[in-house]
Structure 1
């Protein structure tokens, strides 16, 4: 459904995702959605989530979901937060304690994951 909707003329890819036409990444039971920070793109994504929720009975957990915005004017920023109902997250976004970044990570970036695994192994 999302793959069809991102072909619409009023959907705009995030600038870093345009060449590869990436609008989403899935990690286990987590989903990252990417678009340019404009009303039409965010509305398309939220409509897809709503339709999926009606069909599958699965909806985003508002208390665990965030919207990440960069270089978006304050009035547009608040509009997008209102459309999604998500709280605004801060960068860097971390998954399992590791920052998701476009550049190569340093060994130190993996410390939270290594520490968590060590605690589990030692428990």
Structure 2
């Protein structure tokens, strides 16, 4: 994580948990610890949601670009993870991972390695 990046108080795991309440939570029944956590977390959740909505309304292109960048970064991470996996990788999955790196990686050495791997796979076929 970069020094300029700020970790949100409310992480994705907590959001996922709050998005799937059980029966008692749907009825508004929370233990004291959960009520205290909600008192701290709810303002941040609402603030983040309002920022997203405001950006979507006022700067839809910037929001779309940010979401696209995040999606590309996720695809790059998945491709790198697949290539570096200790288990054998299916040739189609390796091809897809290499093509993702070729299209989206900013690292010239990474793109060159992906290109070489694709060329070797074509020669072997």
TM over 0.5: no
- Under TM normalisation by the shorter chain, which class is it? under 0.3
Greater Cα radius of gyration, structure 1 or 2: 2
The structure whose residues are more often strand, as a share, is 1
Normalization by structure 1: what TM-score? 0.26
| TM-score using structure 2 length | 0.26
